[in-house]
Chain A
């Protein structure tokens, strides 16, 4: 993977400036009803012999990334009036306008030995211009899915004006076996379920992995020692290290600070659970709360100055915000029911949470002052949201009811649209969505 990341350089290609135009192609994502924007992706051109299959696979994946957002609708190739003659050839805009394609994506693929080059251009069909500059991605053949995701991220980002999220990974708990003998192991995969790898075995319970902001490390809770302890795992070499915890204490619910240098977590001692912060380099730790109530599930604000967490100090589980140094906390959840697992959005404006009310579980979002609460899902058990790198999508776990109940990963827009199961092999829980890869 390292090799690929080094090789995956991003080069500007044919720096043609975007001409000023009337009503440029732009999809503004709002909470209103969105008519998916129609786009066309003629098959990427194979520029070297033998690259045909790869070109077809990359074309499909680009289209799939975009269509799966629910914001775009692919126009089937059967509707096409003409095909581009070659990559970069003049575009027959009338042919694409006639089938109402608003965006046209052109691409080409060249393979030389182990090396793969993917070129990409995006056209605003109704303006009759290219949108942004052509891009070229170079990498290895094995990394073809990442290159397709990068093309789709570029298209998504140019059309919506927001960051993409397709070239990203998710760490989660892969589950097997019945409820009363469940086996859990850490796993990592691409955001779309591809390239699944296991990071631990299932000999001890593992819970709630959390990616570092750069995606190079994972914090998780493990019962390997016989008691719940926090481990830091290096994704590249799968080496792991346990955070020192005193005998008789249980440590869980860890999360990185945005600079990746500190960990906030819960420590249970004498039946009481409070929040602590540890500096990874020095090992120095600070106690952040001292209450007889349960304080857990902390998450930093993007600027690192504040922490959102859950506490039952009022009698039931509710959400609170306090300074990253502890001190007074302000309650932000006031609706009916119980609130837990708050996660600050990467944009800083929203808190995602799990809500339990009247025997149902919901994933929801609210503003950081607790206003504008919006429930996005409802089921027997929805839990543990995690943000996409651009703060537009939440992934979470949904567990079904009864003796045969199993967990599945789902994703949903922060508007509540586009709820779908993530195609993961086997059962999964506790997802943590990593950053866009470099």
Chain B
């Protein structure tokens, strides 16, 4: 039983540290929860605001950082393609930035399947951006499955917003 007590003490210390973090979604991309909640606020803090067309805020708010998907689908809609055309243009103009594409699913589905589905969605976006001229070395993907919904109701209005792929702009090396 001695070991148990020690382990609990260590974990308590760790969890205290986690609780005091001011913004659990505000970390860099090496943080497991980075950018997962809200693409508009995630990523880097650029020196200039949303009115600067070269800022990540402009990308998120004006270009549009996300595309939505139909139920159990990873096929881009026409609206999604239009958004991604804008993203590809922006990424080519602002060549210093890297991007990570997050794939998400709604809660109607099993955990593992939704992780795989999110991976499919993120990859669809990545492939589309590459086809429009964005170098593949600047794009990475991650799937959160159904782990990070932005809307919490259990209705289609919420599900539709959760079935998404969000392009998060970042600086520095992708690791």
Contact stretch, chosen from B54-62, B76-84, B138-146: B138-146
Q: How many cross-chain pairs have Cβ atoms below 8 Å apart between A and B?
A: 160
Provide the bound-state CA to CA distance between A181 and B152, in Å.
10
> Which residues from A are CB-within-8-Å of B34?
226
> Which residues from B are CB-within-8-Å of A271?
74, 119-124, 126-127, 141
Provide the bound-state CA to CA distance between A298 and B8, in Å.
32
Contact A223 B112 (CB under 8 A): no
> Which residues from A are CB-within-8-Å of B121?
271
Closest B-chain residue to A294, C-beta based? B116
Contact A204 B120 (CB under 8 A): no
> Which residues from A are CB-within-8-Å of B95?
none
B 71-101 contacts with A by CB, 8 A: 72, 74
Contact A253 B142 (CB under 8 A): no
Q: Which of A199, A204, A208, A402 contacts B112 (CB 8 A)?
A: A208
B149 at interface (Cβ–Cβ under 8 A)?
Answer: yes
From known contacts A226-B30, A228-B143, infer whether A201 and B15 are also in contact, taking CB-CB under 8 Å.
Answer: yes
From known contacts A179-B152, A405-B154, infer whether A227 and B109 are also in contact, taking CB-CB under 8 Å.
Answer: no
Contact A236 B3 (CB under 8 A): yes
Contact-residue size bin, chain A (C-beta under 8 Å from the other chain): 35 or more
Output the least CB separation between B117 and chain A (Å). 7
From known contacts A201-B18, A271-B120, A271-B124, infer whether A253 and B112 are also in contact, taking CB-CB under 8 Å.
Answer: yes
Q: Which of A201, A253, A354, A401 contacts B154 (CB 8 A)?
A: A401
A4 at interface (Cβ–Cβ under 8 A)?
Answer: yes
Provide the bound-state CA to CA distance between A356 and B107, in Å.
12
Contact B4 A1 (CB under 8 A): yes
> Which residues from A are CB-within-8-Å of B142?
226-228, 250
From known contacts A1-B3, A356-B110, infer whether A225 and B32 are also in contact, taking CB-CB under 8 Å.
Answer: yes
B 134-175 contacts with A by CB, 8 A: 140-144, 147-154, 175
A42 at interface (Cβ–Cβ under 8 A)?
Answer: no
> Which residues from A are CB-within-8-Å of B117?
294
Provide the bound-state CA to CA distance between A236 and B6, in Å.
12
Question: Which of A271, A341, A405 has the largest count of B CB atoms less than 10 A from its CB?
Answer: A271
Question: Which of B11, B17, B21 has the largest count of A CB atoms less than 10 A from its CB?
Answer: B11
6 contacts between A and B (CB under 8 A): A178-B152, A223-B33, A226-B30, A271-B121, A272-B120, A340-B112
Given contacts A203-B17, A271-B124, A340-B112, 16 further A-B contacts (CB under 8 A): A183-B18, A203-B21, A203-B32, A207-B111, A207-B147, A225-B30, A237-B7, A268-B115, A271-B141, A272-B119, A297-B110, A297-B113, A317-B110, A341-B110, A356-B110, A403-B154
